[in-house]
Amino acid sequence: MMHRRLFAFVLALAVAGSLGAAPPAASKAAEKKPEYRRVTLSGGPGKDLPFTVEIPGDWQMRMEPGYPGLWLGPADAKPPQDPRMIWVRG
């Protein structure tokens, strides 16, 4: 009988300890959320398209001669060769 009480007591302590324990820390990658911004796509001065797109904060929106549309991508990317670039034509 004594063993049952001792076992129940130890089990209760173990359960109570696990309930009060802090949750495991999230990884640093999960804590760091990428920053995004919403931009209005434009076909030129005064020619805004009727929709927006969300892009990473370090991306640029630019027009290149010879391409009717916009290029979206990192600042160091060279259109049209760089596969990170996205071409949008209105």
* Average pLDDT of the residues of the chain: 77
87 backbone dihedrals φ, ψ, rounded to 5°:
-105, 130
- Helix (H/G/I), strand (E/B), else coil: 1: coil
Dig out the tokens for 76 from the structure: 């160091």
Whether the predicted model's global pTM rises above the 0.75 cut? no
Tokens 């209105």 belong to: 90
Supply the pLDDT for residue 2.
56
Residues in the chain: 90
Q: What is the mean pLDDT of residues 27-50?
A: 77
Beta bridge partners of 87: 71
Q: Residue 66 — very low, low, confident or very high, per pLDDT cuts 50/70/90?
A: confident
20 backbone dihedrals φ, ψ, rounded to 5°:
-90, -5
Q: Which of 21-25, 40-44, 74-78, 86-90 has the lowest mean pLDDT?
A: 21-25
7 pLDDT above the threshold of 60: no
Q: Which of 25-29, 38-42, 61-65 has the lowest mean pLDDT?
A: 25-29
Other C-beta atoms lying within 10 Å of the C-beta of residue 59:
19
